[in-house]
Amino acid sequence: MEQLKELRDRMIREVNRIYPEKESINLVNWLFFSVAGIEKKDISFDPGRPVDERLRTELLEKLDELMAYKPIQYVTGEAYFYGLELEVNPSVLIPRPETEELVKWVADDFKLKPGLNVLDIGTGSGCIVLALGSLLTDPRLTAVDISREALSVAGRNALKTGIQVDFRQTDILDQDGWNDLANFDLIVSNPPYVRESEKSRMKANVLDYEPPGALFVPDGDPLLFYRAVAGISKLKLTHSGRVYCEINEELGEEVARLFRDEGFSFITVKKDMQGKDRMIRCGFMQ
C-alpha cells in the first residue's frame, strides 16, 4: 500500500511536468486538503502512513483532471474570495485577486454608511455581492445574471455564507428588464471585457473551462456591457450613489469616456497591484 509522502511526492512530480515546481507543490497540497483534510504538516508528521485505496483512487482521479489543465478550483469545486469559501464550477468564473481589489475599494469608500441598497450586475458565483454583504453594515443586496446555472451556484453560496441576497435572472442588454429594478446607492459589476482577439494570450485552463459568455466581448464592440451598466446606472443610481466596474487594462480611457458621455462625473480609473488600469468609479456628484 502506497505511503502518504510517497503518493504526494509522486503527484508533485507529475504536476511539475506542466506547472512550475512551487505551484505544483501548492496544487497537490490543496488537493490533499480538499479531498481528505490532510495538511502538509500532517504528511511531515506521519510520512509513512498508508493511503487506503479509496483515497488513493480519488486523489489520482483529481490529478488526472489537473493534468488536463482543469483549474484547481473546478477540480475541488471551491474557491476562496475575501475570506469566503465559495462553490465554483464551469458555469461561473473563478474569482480573481483583482476583483478582491475592486471589493476593497468599494468597502473602504462605504464602510461608514449603513443600510445601502446594493446591486451586483453579472454576479456569477456571487463573490462580489457576498463579500460586500460581509463587509458593509446592514446592506440590502440584489444581484442579477443572465445565467440560471450561475444563479444556482450564487444562491448556494449565499446559503453557505448566511448572507441574504435577492437574486434575479436578468439580461442587462435587454432594457425592458431594467424596469423591475429598484433604485440603488451602489452598483458594482465585473462584466465581460476580454476582446475576442485577446484569446491568443490566454492559457488553456481559462479557454477550455471557464464560461466564454462571462469573459469575451466582440472586438467591434468591446464596451457593450459597460454601455448597459451605464444605462442602468443612469436610471437606477441615487443622485449621491456610485457605480464601480472592473475593466480591461487596455480600455480604461475608453470606459471613462463612455461614462462621461452618459453624464457621469467624478470619474476615477484605479490601477491594480500590478500597476494596470483595472477598475473605475463614477458618480453624479461629489
Instruction: Specify the pLDDT at position 42.
Output: 87
164 and 104, same structural domain? yes
Q: 73 in a domain, yes or no?
A: no
**Confidence check: pLDDT of 177 > 90:** no
Q: Among 57, 59, 124, 62, which Cα is nearest to 95's? A: 124
Instruction: Specify the pLDDT at position 179.
Output: 87
Average pLDDT estimate for 215-221: 96
Q: 74 in a domain, yes or no?
A: no
Q: 240 in a domain, yes or no?
A: yes
Instruction: Specify the pLDDT at position 45.
Output: 86
44 and 174, same structural domain? no
96 and 64, same structural domain? no
Question: Percent of the chain scored above 90 by pLDDT?
Answer: 87
How far is Cα 74 from Cα 10, in angstroms, rounded to an integer? 22
> pTM for the complete prediction?
0.94
Residues 6+ positions from 10 with CB-CB distance below 8 Å: 2
129 and 14, same structural domain? no
Q: What is the mean pLDDT of the chain?
A: 95
Instruction: Specify the pLDDT at position 250.
Output: 96
Model confidence at 89, in pLDDT bands (50, 70, 90)?
very high
Q: Over the stretch 263-277, which tens digit does the pLDDT of each residue have?
A: 998 999 999 999 999
**Confidence check: pLDDT of 285 > 80:** no
Instruction: Specify the pLDDT at position 140.
Output: 98
162 and 41, same structural domain? no
237 and 147, same structural domain? yes
52 and 138, same structural domain? no
Q: 204 in a domain, yes or no?
A: yes
Considering its fold, how many domains does the chain have in total?
Answer: 2
Q: Over the stretch 158-176, which tens digit does the pLDDT of each residue have?
A: 999 999 999 999 999 999 9
Q: 129 in a domain, yes or no?
A: yes
93 and 52, same structural domain? no
203 and 96, same structural domain? yes
Q: Which three cell numbers stand for residue 235?
A: 436610471
| φ/ψ bin of 162: left (φ > 0), alpha (ψ from -120 to 50), beta (otherwise) | left
Instruction: Specify the pLDDT at position 286.
Output: 62
Q: Over the stretch 11-27, which tens digit does the pLDDT of each residue have?
A: 999 999 999 999 999 99
14 and 146, same structural domain? no
Its domain, for residue 122, covers 79-283
Round the CA-based radius of gyration of the chain to a whole number and report it: 21
Instruction: Specify the pLDDT at position 30.
Output: 95
Q: 254 in a domain, yes or no?
A: yes
253 and 197, same structural domain? yes
Model confidence at 203, in pLDDT bands (50, 70, 90)?
confident
Question: Percent of the chain scored above 70 by pLDDT?
Answer: 100
153 and 125, same structural domain? yes
**Confidence check: pLDDT of 186 > 90:** yes
Q: Over the stretch 16-73, which tens digit does the pLDDT of each residue have?
A: 999 999 999 999 999 999 999 999 898 888 888 889 999 999 999 999 999 999 999 9
**What CATH number does the domain containing 144 carry?**
3.40.50.150
